[in-house]
């Protein structure tokens, strides 16, 4: 053997040997495909969970806003201050609201509990919120005004 071939073998031994393997095997392809499909399935589950959480967050936020708005309507007198159960909202019938009125901790206070729920098409509840507020009894103002007017 010539001197240049010996030096070449010492420096780069893989250049002189012919490799029997020129590509990847079927097993390696199937293994890579299995890993890829497993990763895609895991990513799909993460996307699904994220979508469900986003929808739940949107419904909860809307429930809070609807509850605050309905409570403000009751306090302002737009809605009568009487107890109601599961009344649908005018703009969307899947949203229901309820109002309960109980005596507060003081004789002139009332506790208003407004509950808002969202029902799916299958009539199962998937979002809801309840807001409680103490207000002065409006009947006291009416009684006080009536006693001032009558001599």
Residue 137 lies in a domain: yes
Residue 93 lies in a domain: yes
Q: What is the domain count for the chain?
A: 1
- Give the whole-angstrom CA distance, residue 87 versus residue 125: 14
Residue 29 lies in a domain: no
pLDDT tens for the chain, residues 1 to 151: 566 655 555 665 555 555 566 888 999 999 999 999 999 999 999 999 999 999 999 999 999 999 999 999 999 989 999 999 999 999 988 999 999 999 988 888 999 999 999 988 877 768 899 999 999 988 887 777 777 766 6
State the CATH number of the domain containing residue 79: 3.30.1300
pTM of the predicted structure, to 2 decimals: 0.70
Residue 39 lies in a domain: no
Residue 134 lies in a domain: yes
Domain of 123, in residue numbers: 53-151
Residue 20 lies in a domain: no
């Amino acid at each position: 053997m010539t001197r240049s071939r010996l030096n070449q073998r010492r420096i780069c031994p893989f250049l002189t040997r012919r490799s029997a393997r020129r590509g990847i095997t079927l097993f390696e392809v199937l293994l890579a495909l299995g890993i890829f499909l497993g990763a895609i399935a895991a990513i799909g589950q993460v996307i699904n969970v994220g979508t469900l959480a986003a929808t739940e967050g949107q419904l909860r936020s809307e429930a809070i806003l609807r509850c605050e708005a309905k409570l403000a309507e009751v306090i302002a007198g737009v809605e009568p201050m009487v107890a109601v159960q599961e009344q649908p909202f005018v703009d969307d019938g899947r949203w229901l609201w309820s109002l309960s009125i109980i005596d507060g901790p003081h004789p002139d206070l009332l506790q208003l509990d407004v509950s808002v729920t969202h029902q799916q098409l299958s009539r199962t509840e998937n979002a809801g919120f309840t807001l409680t507020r103490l207000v002065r009894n409006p009947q006291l103002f009416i009684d006080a005004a009536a006693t001032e007017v009558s001599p």
